[in-house]
Chain A
């Protein structure tokens, strides 16, 4: 079955530094979603990537979908304390028709 690996598990940065989390799947994906969960909160949808090689930007956040549609990344430029939280990827396996959440990357930002 599909295996999803999200790295790193934790990332501690100084405010202003950049941050990247990676999501890798063992199988080819139909699409992938990214969510953010603030401490004590629930996951909130950030973006959906569908096309091979797709790059989408939301202000300081840049999302990429790999050419082979097996991996994705989320990059935050110049982190702020409001970026604190856990970022989850949710890849949808083409064949399984089913999605699985990555383990998440928890970001902490020192002011």
Chain B
């Protein structure tokens, strides 16, 4: 089945630094990937839709200059949290949809837990 690899799984950084999270589709091509943020005991909040070769589409209220998304290839999307602050601490998850798997069926990465000190 489809596998999505997300790295790193955990990261701790100092306030003001930037952190990059990678999301790779290992055995399929993903023209579209999604980035979510999940707070403890809460649902998945869609942050942005990452489109290969074009600009990401951000959800309302998500700062595009704060959360930079790059989808440079059909198998890789990256999320960079710039100038991170403690309030950016969260669980970030990516997902991708494999063509032919059924409309809208998503495969999720394992998530990245970011802690900003």
Which A residues contact B (CB, under 8 angstroms)?
30-31, 33, 35, 41-45, 48, 50, 88, 90, 92, 99-104, 106
Q: How many A-B residue pairs have CB under 8 A?
A: 47
Q: Residue of B at shortest CB range from A106?
A: B41
For B95, list chain A residues within 8 Å (CB): 43
Q: Is the interface of B mostly helix, strand, loop or mixed?
A: loop
Is the C-beta of B107 less than 8 angstroms from some C-beta in chain A? yes
Which B residues contact A (CB, under 8 angstroms)?
41-44, 46, 93, 95, 102-111
Q: Is the interface of A mostly helix, strand, loop or mixed?
A: strand
Q: A42-B93, A42-B110, A43-B108 are in contact. Are A103 and B103 (CB under 8 A)?
A: no
For B109, list chain A residues within 8 Å (CB): 42
Min CB distance B72 to A, Å, is 23
- In the bound complex, CA of A79 to CA of B12 (Å): 37
- In the bound complex, CA of A101 to CA of B59 (Å): 14
- In the bound complex, CA of A43 to CA of B34 (Å): 13
For B41, list chain A residues within 8 Å (CB): 106
Selected A-B contacts with CB under 8 Å, 7 pairs: A33-B105, A45-B105, A45-B106, A50-B103, A90-B104, A101-B43, A104-B42
Q: A42-B93, A42-B111, A101-B44 are in contact. Are A90 and B103 (CB under 8 A)?
A: no
Q: A42-B109, A42-B110, A43-B93 are in contact. Are A103 and B104 (CB under 8 A)?
A: no
Contact call B104/A43, Cβ cutoff below 8 A: no
Min CB distance B96 to A, Å, is 12
Contact call A45/B43, Cβ cutoff below 8 A: no
Give me 9 other A-B pairs in contact (C-beta within 8 A), A88-B44, A103-B42 excluded.
Answer: A31-B104, A35-B108, A42-B108, A42-B109, A42-B111, A43-B44, A43-B106, A90-B104, A99-B104
